[in-house]
Structure 1
């Protein structure tokens, strides 16, 4: 079936990917937070469960903004939630992560927030691995095509989690819905296009394919599946969440993403709140406070996990992942002309 699991970092255990692949789709892992050893372990476990296809996804690093004033302002605001835990160790090396992905030999390696280097793209193709590049505008999609991408993942503003905009400071102003974005990209590139953002049932799948997509990618629709295993508080925040009630925020990582409107997220919109620190400093700081000591008198606590939520969150069902994607494809086939 033309349904891909979204590579949701922190919410894509091998059991979820194997369930989607076993149903006839493609599994995935977002590995931006993972050391090479963890990437290898994930791949081994997936392959012990499934012979199906999977993709590994990596962020392209942003230029680092080490502005001490921005970092200090975010630290000061976080102190209102309690005391931080110990400093977080440096994250894994991007280059080492890329080597680990290449060694794993998945069907697809995908990128978000930019493009792989020409040398790495050549190595992917030499190994028979396809490169799927996330794009939020036609200009990004065309740049990816020129750089050697094999497919474009067109991400509409409805998508949960991080926005794939290449330029981090432009994320708030680069917000195109999938209904407008998808045909624009389909008509503007000579590559297969995968549609993602707000697709949670067969109608969404059928609409995307009708608009020219070759496949769809779904993430939030699978978050409540038991194989995903997200925290109960996160799962509860999705139930009945209206599209207009999801919010975009930099409060978790410093990069813009769509989430449920938790009290912690809303606190960063207060008049006296600073702008979150740039990525990856905000992510590092939030990690410290999650391991710290909450303030006894604080009305709001730091969310223990990132409550990412796309605009179709209310349609996420607490059902096995295989049942979710199989039903989506079955519904879509009743709406599509004979293929």
Structure 2
């Protein structure tokens, strides 16, 4: 089995990537992780163009080390008025409970895929690494990134997706196990039964691919890092464990949930965005059904449920909040990101 030096590929000291986590982080976490010798990541799918420029400027001011910009590659769905009406009808009892007038809720997407316009914005910024979820951008955009020397990472949830990504230019593939928090990265099939846990997926991808494979999902401490490396991973990506770091912007409600007994029960849900994502089970997931088909396609489900989230959070409740978390929140502790990064690095052994 070939050995890859992922750190050399990324230009980092450690073969460790902080997972991009939209909604719970900005440039501060990316800076802290990069400064600690790993690859800090900035989620960009929910950022306006001027916000991306500001955050990248902040990263370059805060560290001279490499960093990663993350984007989505989904195909925006056509709006479906009938489906939207059915979704709002399902939410009607909750609107009444919180005194919300659904007529005042505007419909609209919450996330945009990587496009030629975004590539025009990003190219002058010359990010050292770009990572993608839900596939890869168009071939001509991949070629542009390669021309400026950018490294490309992308998530795979099956061996078939890993082969697809390798054939289309990914420099490394992230093996996203079913344990991982946040959105599933699948893109070739919506059949979740085709996806598996990390330690089943990882060795299959390592055997099938010629590019480095990065392990992601359920890794929360040095022991998890060591186990992934023993199965052939070239490096690891860690998300949930960073969510209690002071550099993260995780809300007080979300922080409390991650440190509670509730964190032991997570599930995949499409209620909050329209696409399966793993989070801590809450009232919305229990009462509506975590994978309810009533929720419109990604990302159109977001707008109708957002006012319920805002009202509940104002009352100190996370009943309608997407409390993203992986299945293993054991390593999620309130410690500086630098300290956590160095603790995880012990799993790589002597270097």
TM-score, normalised via structure 2 length = 0.86
* 2:4 equivalent in structure 1: none
Query: Are the structure 2 counterparts of residues 26 and 287 from structure 1 closer, same or farther at C-alpha, using a change threshold of 3 Å?
Result: same
* 2:178 equivalent in structure 1: 157
Query: Are the structure 2 counterparts of residues 198 and 214 from structure 1 closer, same or farther at C-alpha, using a change threshold of 3 Å?
Result: same
Q: Tell me if the contact between 1:77 and 1:274 (Cα under 8 Å) persists in the aligned partners.
A: no
In 1: Cα distance, 2:189 partner to 2:287 partner? 22
Query: Are the structure 2 counterparts of residues 137 and 192 from structure 1 closer, same or farther at C-alpha, using a change threshold of 3 Å?
Result: same
Query: Are the structure 2 counterparts of residues 322 and 99 from structure 1 closer, same or farther at C-alpha, using a change threshold of 3 Å?
Result: same
How does 1:141-152 map onto structure 2 within 5 Å? 141-152=162-173
1:73 aligns with 2:86: yes
Gaps of 5+ in 1: none
SS class of match (2:52): helix
Match of 1:219 among 239, 244, 249: 239
* 1:285 equivalent in structure 2: 304
Deviations 1:10-58 (A, max 9, x none): 2221111111111110110111111111111110111121112111111
* 2:204 equivalent in structure 1: 184
In 2: Cα distance, 1:135 partner to 1:232 partner? 32
Provide the aligned length of Structure 1 versus Structure 2: 327
Q: Tell me if the contact between 1:241 and 1:314 (Cα under 8 Å) persists in the aligned partners.
A: no
In 2: Cα distance, 1:140 partner to 1:42 partner? 31
* 2:11 equivalent in structure 1: none
* 1:102 equivalent in structure 2: 123
Q: CA deviation at 1:145?
A: 0.7
Q: CA deviation at 1:168?
A: 6.3
In 1: Cα distance, 2:26 partner to 2:281 partner? 25
How does 1:304-319 map onto structure 2 within 5 Å? 305-319=321-335
Moved more, 280-289 or 176-185: 280-289
1:49 aligns with 2:69: no
Query: Are the structure 2 counterparts of residues 308 and 211 from structure 1 closer, same or farther at C-alpha, using a change threshold of 3 Å?
Result: same
1:204 aligns with 2:204: no
1:31 aligns with 2:44: yes
Gaps of 5+ in 2: 1-13
In 1: Cα distance, 2:205 partner to 2:131 partner? 18
* 2:284 equivalent in structure 1: 264
TM-score, normalised via structure 1 length = 0.89
Q: Tell me if the contact between 1:197 and 1:218 (Cα under 8 Å) persists in the aligned partners.
A: yes
* 2:343 equivalent in structure 1: 327
SS class of match (2:226): helix
Match of 1:193 among 197, 202, 213: 213
Deviations 1:185-232 (A, max 9, x none): 011010011111000000111111111111111000001111102111
Aligned CA-pair RMSD: 2.4
Match of 1:11 among 17, 24, 42: 24
